[in-house]
Structure formats: C-alpha cells, structure tokens
Amino acid sequence: MGENQEIKPHSNLTTATSTVTDDTTSVDPDSSTPPIKPSNTGSLAHVENYSIRPDGKRELTEEEAYDKLGYTFPTKRKWMILSVIFIIQVSMNFNAAVYPNVAQGLSDHFHISLQAARVGQMIFLVAYAFGSELWAPWSEELGRWPILQASLFLVNIWQIPCALAPNYGTIVVGRFLGGLSSAGGSVTLGMVADMWDADDQQFAVAFIVLSSVGGSSIGPVVGAFIQKYLSWHWNFWIQLMFGVFVQLVHFFFVPETRSTVLLDREAKRLRKAGQTDVYGPGELKEHRFEMREILATWARPFEMFLREPIVLCLSLLSGFSDGLIFCFMEAFTPVYSQWNFGTIELGLAFVPINIGYLLAYASYMYPIMKHRRIMKRDPTALSPESRLWWLLFTAPLEAIGLFGFAWTSFGPPRIPWIAPMLFSVLIAIANYCIYMSTIDYMVAAYGVYAASATGGNALARDFIAGVSAMYATPLYSNLGSHSLEWASTLLAFLAALVTIPIYVFYVKGPQIRAASKFAQTLARTRRAQEARGERRRCEHRRKGPCW
C-alpha cells in the first residue's frame, strides 16, 4: 500500500511549508549561504558574504555542517537504518493485510454479517490514507525519530481495545484510530531523502517499496495460521507484539535523520563552544506551528492530485493496482475453494505474490544501474520520463495476469490449481513496478514538490484499497454463472485502460510538465540544486570550499 512518500532532493530550502501561487513562489533557489569548511573544534571557519539577521543571528546551513547530516552516514550505517525502516513498513502494512482473516471470527462472535465485519478493513485503510498525510508536516518540523515513535506507540495502543472489544463498534473505532495513527511512508520514505541525494535514491526507494507491498502480502499468510489455530483476539495481539518489537528496534537503533533537526542540534553545540550567533533553521523559523502553514502543507498533496494530470493519472493507476491486491484477498477464497483449499492453503496461495514482488525488485537492478552509469557521464542526459522506461514493459503484465487468472479460475478437473497462481505472479510483478516507477518518476519530475506529488499517490493507493475491501466479494459473487471469471476479466479491462497514460507520459511528459503551474519554479530550483549538490559533494571530498 501506499503512503505519503516524502522523497525529494535535499537542500536547505524549507519546502515542506512553502506555498505556490500562479505568479509567486515562496521557494528561493538562490537563498543558500556560501559553503564554509566544517570545523571539528567547535567553531565555524571564516566565511564571506553570509547574511546576518537584524537581531544578529545567522542560520547554520547544510553547506556549513554537511558532515553532520544523514547524507554523510557510512553506507553500512545507512543500510542498517534502512533495514529497520523496512521491518517497520512491513509491520504497518501487515496490520492492514492480516485483518481479513479475522472477519469470519468477528462475524460469528458478534453475530454480524461477513460484509459488516469487513468494515474494519475498509475503515483502517481509508484512515491510513489520510493519516499518513497528517503526520508528514510534523516529521519535517519535529524530526523523523519522535514522530515515528509517536506513530508506532499510538498504533500499538489502539490494538488493545480491539483485542479486548466487548462489541464490534469498539473494533471499528480502534481500527479507525489505528489507521489514522499510522505515519507510513510520510516518515519512512522521507528518511530515504534524508540520507541519499535525489539521483542516488533509487536502490533505497526500491527496497522500501518492497517492504510496503511485501507487508500487504505477508499478512494473509500469517493470518491464515492465526485463523486456523487461535481465537480472533490473537489477530490483534499478534499485531501488537509485532508493533512493539519494531518500535523497540527503532528506539535503540535508528538515529534522527532530518537535516533541519540535525542542524539545530549542531547550532546548539556551536553556541556552547562560543559561536553565540549561530542558530539552526528550525530555531529561526517564525510562526513555526502556525495553523495556516500546516494547512497549506496538508492541502498541497490534494491540490496536486486534482490539478496535475501526471499526479492524477499515475496515482489512480497505482491506487487501482494496490486495490487489486486487497481485492484478491477476498477473491482467493471462492477461487481456490474449488480445489478444496482449507484455511492454511488459502493463506499459502499468497506466496506466489511474494515471489512476484521479489522478482520485480530484482528486475529493477538493471535499469537503476543503467541510469546511474548514464548520469555519471552526463547528469543532464536523462529526462524524468526515463524513470518510466522499465514500466513500459512490465505494466501490461497486470492486465495479462488478470486475464490469465480469470480464465484459469474454472477449477478442477480442467485447470490445475497452480495455473491461477502463476498468473498472480505476473500481477504482483506489475503491482510492484507500478508503485516503484510512479514514485520514482514523480521524484524526478516534481523536484522540491515531490513530497506533495507522491502524497497523492499514497492517498489513492490506500483509499482505493480500503474501498476494494467492501466491493470485492459482491463483485466475485454477482456476475452470473461465471462470476469468478467475469469479475477478474472486468478488472483486466480496467487495468489495460489505466495503464494507457504511462505511454502518453513517456512520450509527451516534457510538454505536459511544461504546462504545469509548478514548472517555472522547478526549472529555477533544479538548476540551483544541481549547482549546490555538486558544490557539497566537492566540498565533502576536499574537506574545504571548492569555489
């Protein structure tokens, strides 16, 4: 499932709270302080032409304290942090995906219909869609670490009333609050941006995307064993145990990575060492928690979702693809019960989806390395549309897989049970590639606004996945004598339709982006960011000013 993917090129611009109008912008690409050599002695090297505020304070910039930021973490440490984030993201999506296995138990215990029991699935995912947006600005202002700890703590707390629920209404409320408390990719993918430059993020992004989709498909496998051998209460207790485990691992092994927070810490250290005029960007920010600024940040993903054709079309594609997986959670039961699959066998039927995700993840190694080689020779050689290249070949696998799944759903004796599973591998490959490439493209296409652009992607994925929990069973039950076949066929036609924009954007993307109201600002900021990025890398290598 998706989340508010806060991936963007790093800079000392406070893009999280900037607002854009048709004729003005709050982003000033020329506002950076000239670089000065970081000091290990508690003082800053001399720098000329830096600006001093009327109150005598000056802001510590990324250039001045570059060696204190997440970009300079050793590679081994970065991937250790990323591995912890991986299991956190798995746990968040596991919470959504394991619930369908408790629906029958809740239906029997509280004497409600099975469709009513699925409301807990729908409400969690819809709340998750909006919750990840609500957490995003706070992780930028207060830091990734405390916000992720708060999110994990609240998600864990809301598992308790669900496990002890005296009535079904308590579970619905607990699931809603649990979804709303889930920060998701608004923090996890944001941490990728904290540690890697935009041009170096692809391997890390691919890894985190794997955790997101993987959590959604591991849930049904584990849930099947819970459903078979334990009471319904344990569905929530196991979510709680997993959540507590990942929260403790995060507490002890993951440091703060948000650059503005690290700069604030370094500024405080320098003031203690005698540099009394140096302050961090967060310390100098006026109206830091003003509601107008927070609302502007919250509103921008929705604005871009509705007004940017690229964001709208690719987010709907990504959302449809994610909804399809959650739809499968309901469809697998009537399809595989024809082969007399029991609870455990139905859970294991999701293993091919996990195999598909692993194959898709591995397949991205080639295009990523190819792009890196080209960018190393000429940083301007590739347009953002190049990020869609691999998707041109993999996106059709979704429609192909659905058609194949549909017409191998006849059951025995004509069709072996492995046939629809093989086609589900193709669907999983396409789902991963759609998620990965749409995020990757938005990062490259929208620059400093990538967080807002990918926020629309996250909103669509979680919202559509939530709605699919309610329509899946009726869809596979009410289309006549061949309902199983025609339901998947209908989804296949929709898959073919929603993938058309990929090819349009690959060919016409530059013209479409040029018509965007964000284009003029992005053109200026991209040039400035490239210059600053090269200067930072040069300065870090030489341990001193490059120019």
pLDDT tens figures, 359-403? 999 999 999 999 999 988 888 788 889 999 999 999 999 999 999
Give yes or no for a cis peptide into 38 (omega within 30° of 0). Answer: no
- Specify the pLDDT at position 531: 64
Mean pLDDT of 308-312: 84
pLDDT higher than threshold 90 for residue 56: no
CA distance 150 to 224: 30
Element (H, E) at 9: none
- Specify the pLDDT at position 304: 81
What is the C-alpha end-to-end distance of the chain, expressed in Å?
Answer: 45
Confidence of residue 2 (pLDDT cuts 50, 70, 90): very low
Dihedral in degrees, nearest 10, Cα atoms 401, 407, 412, 417: 0
- Specify the pLDDT at position 454: 78
- Reduced to 3 states, what is the DSSP secondary structure of residue 70? helix
- Specify the pLDDT at position 8: 41
- Specify the pLDDT at position 282: 83
Supply the pTM of this predicted model: 0.84
pLDDT higher than threshold 60 for residue 10: no
Max mean pLDDT among 272-276, 277-281, 334-338, 429-433 falls in 429-433
Greater pLDDT, 258 or 327: 258
Greater pLDDT, 444 or 84: 84
Mean pLDDT of 517-543: 62
- Specify the pLDDT at position 39: 41
The CA-CA-CA angle for residues 143, 149, 155, to 5°, reads 130
Greater pLDDT, 545 or 443: 443
Confidence of residue 225 (pLDDT cuts 50, 70, 90): very high
Q: Record the tokens describing residue 32, joined without a space.
A: 């950076």
Percentage of the chain surpassing pLDDT 90? 48
pLDDT tens figures, 444-485? 777 666 777 777 788 888 999 898 888 888 888 888 778 888
Confidence of residue 523 (pLDDT cuts 50, 70, 90): low
pLDDT higher than threshold 60 for residue 36: no
- Reduced to 3 states, what is the DSSP secondary structure of residue 388? helix
Mean pLDDT over the full length of the chain: 83
Greater pLDDT, 434 or 131: 434
CATH topology of domain 64-274+289-542: Growth Hormone; Chain: A; (1.20.1250)
pLDDT higher than threshold 80 for residue 198: no
Encode burial over 64-93: b for 16+ CB neighbours within 10 A, e otherwise. bbbebbbbebeeeebbebbebbbbbbbbbb
CA distance 215 to 209: 10
* No. of helices (H) and no. of strands (E), the chain: 23, 2
Greater pLDDT, 133 or 250: 250
Confidence of residue 518 (pLDDT cuts 50, 70, 90): low
- Specify the pLDDT at position 396: 96
Mean pLDDT of 261-277: 90
Confidence of residue 169 (pLDDT cuts 50, 70, 90): very high
